[in-house]
Structure 1
């Protein structure tokens, strides 16, 4: 019997380790987590942006999203179904929300648009632009679709502690263009 782990087993192990690091970082986090994200988004005023409604121990982009919403459309993901790309519905800081799949809130009324910048939640990341998500492939499918229409900037947003030396990735995993943590901005070529 081989001791080599399959790619799925490697991803599961990497996710488990990253979730543990994220949980500890979330517990220790202070204010101003989205400061660097706000600084980057300020350079894209008016460009349609998609953020996300944080769940569990995800770092919160809400402060940066609220600032960006004063200048242009900001949306949040709405899951359409298993193995389908996400759609993004316009979000307002004080707008009415309803429960969406997986515990994330979504706007009460759907007002879909295509973002040119997507702030991507994640479980783990590396310094090559690799991203490990939850395993459903929603963001990979979505980024692939958006990038087939126009240049789309994918910005990972996570706690610094979620960084991994290397991640088990597949050809279908969409790369990040930039990674932002509570501590810094990392641009990938």
Structure 2
């Protein structure tokens, strides 16, 4: 089911921020309440999408407890010839730093409960982006720190692939001047392409 549309004046940054905050609360509750058994469909679609693009440097994410777990996908992509990198969250205002991950890489504790590998910094060609919410125009709702917006702006040639359970879909999302639409979005039901 698609969440209801919450209108917002697109040109007013304070109205956009307020609407996004409201939507984040709704989407976080939906994400935590989802049937996690459906997440395997997201991993299957991601693997189908990425496999023909390998070898490539792919940025994954080590999941927080409530997020879709990409760990099995990271292992499968390494076995298929990908170089996997995971993000280190820098101080606020900076883009993400991506460090090479291997199945035996030691993991370090990062900011906001995240983990990242103790590996060299490598720039990705493909960035997997966790979503709190999304719409069918490629707009995404993140956690509000702006890390992925800054990262996608800093890596304009990277392919950005959002992923989320289909229950996170919204009729539309308010977009601010720094919001970067995604190249595609993957759910357990489908692959939506925007480029």
TM above 0.5, one fold? yes
Match of residue 38, structure 1, among 36, 41, 47:
47
Match of residue 130, structure 1, among 96, 117, 139:
139
Query: 1:29-82: CA deviations, max 9, x gaps?
Result: 216241111111111111111010110311122222211122031100001211
Q: Where does residue 119 of structure 1 map in the other structure?
A: 128
Q: Where does residue 3 of structure 2 map in the other structure?
A: none
Q: Where does residue 72 of structure 1 map in the other structure?
A: 82
Q: Where does residue 188 of structure 1 map in the other structure?
A: 194
Total equivalences in the alignment: 180
TM-score (norm 2): 0.87
> Which stretches of structure 1, 4 residues or more, deviate above 3 A after TM superposition?
none
Match of residue 60, structure 1, among 44, 58, 69:
69
SS in 2 for 1:113: coil
Q: Where does residue 93 of structure 2 map in the other structure?
A: 83
Matched, 1:29 2:39: no
Which runs of 5 or more structure 2 residues have no equivalent in the other structure? 1-8
Displacement of 1:104 after TM fit? 1.2
Which runs of 5 or more structure 1 residues have no equivalent in the other structure? none
User: Structure 2 CA distance, aligned partners of 1:101 and 1:161?
Assistant: 27
Match of residue 173, structure 1, among 173, 176, 179:
179
Check whether the contact 1:41–1:64 (CA below 8 A) recurs between aligned residues.
Answer: no
Query: 1:120-170: CA deviations, max 9, x gaps?
Result: 0121110000001111100000010011xxx21000011111111011111
SS in 1 for 2:30: helix
Q: Where does residue 100 of structure 1 map in the other structure?
A: 110
User: Structure 2 CA distance, aligned partners of 1:169 and 1:9?
Assistant: 12
User: Structure 2 CA distance, aligned partners of 1:29 and 1:80?
Assistant: 29
Q: Where does residue 14 of structure 1 map in the other structure?
A: 23
Check whether the contact 1:21–1:161 (CA below 8 A) recurs between aligned residues.
Answer: yes
User: Structure 2 CA distance, aligned partners of 1:64 and 1:113?
Assistant: 19
